[in-house]
Every structure is written in C-alpha cells, then in structure tokens.
Amino acid sequence: MKILTVIGARPQFIKASVISRALSSMHSNVQEVLVHTGQHYDANMSDVFFTELGIPCPTHNLGIGGGTHGENTGRMLEKLEALMLLERPDRVLVYGDTDSTLAGSLAASKLHIPVAHVEAGLRSFNRKMPEEINRVLTDHLSSLLFAPTDRACSNLIKEGVAKEAIHRTGDVMYDVALLFKEHAKKPDWFDQAELRKDAFALCTIHRAENTDSPQNLKEILKGLDSENVKFVLPLHPRTRLKLQKIGAPLPSNVHVTEPVGYLEMMWLEANSKFIVTDSGGVQKEAYFHRKFCITLREETEWMELVEHQVNTLVGADSKRISDAIDGDTSFQSDAELYGDGLSAVRISKILTGDFL
C-alpha cells in the first residue's frame, strides 16, 4: 500500500511525526511518500521540526510559499496533481486546515484517489477565516474522516457526512505531547533573559485576522502591557513584518525571541504561568500542560476548553485581554478531553485496514 502524505506547516509536521512513526513501525508493507509543500519555508518554522521530531525527510519538497492564499493553493494543486499521477498512491493523507491541506484534497479527489483527513470536523463557524473554508471543503472531499472529539463527529453528521466515514480517534497532538514531554528543551537564551520558571507568561500571535489588522495588533500589545506579568513572545515572521510596517513598539514587559522549535515550545508551555495565543494548536497544548489559556479570538474550534473554564476568549480587545491577565489564571480541571494517547495507532489501523 502507498500513502501520499501532504504537509506544509508547523502543526502538520508535529502531527505527522506520530502517524508516520505508527505507519512505519506497524506495517512493513506500507510505503509513505511524504510531500512538503513549502508553505512554511523559514528554517525555524520548518526544518527544525523534521530534525527534532524524527520525521523522515520529505520525498518531495515543492518549495511553494510566501504568496497569497489563491496563489499558494493554485501552485500547490498543479504540482500535487503531477506528483499523484507519478506516484499513484492508494490514499492521500492530509492534516488540519491549511492551504496545503485543501490543495492536496482537491488534487486527490479530482484523480479519484481516496482522501483521509486528520482533525476532521473542527468548526469555528467563522467563514472569514481561511482555515474554516479549507477544513470544511476538505471534510466534504474526504472518504476517511478522523475526528478528535465527539463535538467534531457531531459537526460532520449535522453537515450530512456519512456516519460510516467518520472515526472518533482522539487527538494526535496529545499523542505527541505524551511522546516528547521528557525531551522538552529549555531555550539557550532563557537564563540570559533573566527569566524564571513559572514566573513568565507565554504569548504567540500569528493569525491573519490579528496580524493583518493594525488596530487589532495595537489593541493586543496594549492589553499585554502589564506591570505584573513578564511575557515571552516567540515572534512569527508574519507578525514581525506587520509590526515593523505599522511601527508599533512592543511593551517593555514583552521579551521577543525568534521562532522556537517544538521541544523548546513544549518547555516554555510547561514552565509558564499561563498562555496567551491566537493559535488553535497552542490552545490544546496549553491544556495538555495544564496551563490556563487566554485566546485572542472571538471563537474557537475547541469549545470544550471554554466549557471546562480552562480557556477564555477575549478577542483583540485590550481591556478584555488586560482583565484576563490580571484575573484568575489558575488551571482547575482534571478532565481528559482528547483521548488516551493512542490516536495515531487507531488512525494507522484504519488507514491500512482495507489493504492488510
């Protein structure tokens, strides 16, 4: 059996690490062809994850990135179609909600190759988010839908997806957190920055709705400005460019770093007081490390975190951000929301079930 896996962004590298590992260890007659679209082309946003997580080097690297959503998706679609005609895979495996995911799904479905989607069924119900369009379309192009939660399964059923195509597998991100937690790495610069464990908050900002809006960025920075909290902000290349463009100064309590690898990010998450982010993945990672999360969005795909009061939505509103930072940021939940750490094994078995 041949599986062609399409990845292109940091969260996908992380998820692929455990599923690729499961496929290679459990099934000797399965060949995985790994295709990196190049959507994250910065070395700190891409190459380091392959090294740290033990992901096999991609069979193909398309080198596509840096354009608009339409440009990226169109170029990826063209190159992926050619690759699929060359490789003739039995299934195409895609992850999450990126342009790479949509392009892979479109190319495969046009060639009548079955598509399997990891993290199916997630919904923010905000169609202004490019990610929402990508994930909805991918779900309706897929024949195997690996849903991490009961809510994700329910979303798919409500949209008319056939029940037999939906598999409640748990969340592969939890698998990764368990697998690599003992390998978390303190960044080299941490001590020199006069930071202390459990005495700083971690912040990430990268979502287009925030970075493309000067008003939102300014509101977020204003909200982060606090006499009581020291922030560590690994700065996404997109965010850095936007901040330079609008000339917005960072508050003095915000320590800016270059993007960090997954193992360093895991250490920062585990040793922070709490986390402020607009990332979907980091919201869950905060939960895995039992850290309260303040989310710089008006909605989330992970509503169960809000319902369990370990996540609060504050948008890009400086007062709401400030109030949340100065409020109760303790983590108070013992719920297990995302499975048992065996999601990748389940997905591997389902993926290969018809061929073994």
> So which residues are the catalytic ones?
206
CA distances from 317 to 1, 253, 345 (A): 50, 19, 41
Alpha-carbon span 282 to 274, nearest angstrom: 11
Query: Distance between CA 158 and CA 150 in Å, rounded?
Result: 12
Block residue for tokens 């925030």: 210
Q: Quote the CA–CA distance of 275 and 311 in Å, as a whole number.
A: 9
* Alpha carbons 286 and 305: distance in angstroms, whole number: 10
Tokens of 30: 């399965």
One-character DSSP codes across 144-171: EEEESSHHHHHHHHHTT--GGGEEE---
Summary count for the chain: helices (H), strands (E): 15, 13
Tokens read off for 277:
């982010």
Q: How distant, in Å, are the alpha carbons of 2, 3, 30, 118, 246 from that of 61? A: 18, 16, 21, 21, 34
Give me the helix-helix angle, 10-26 and 280-288, nearest 10°.
60
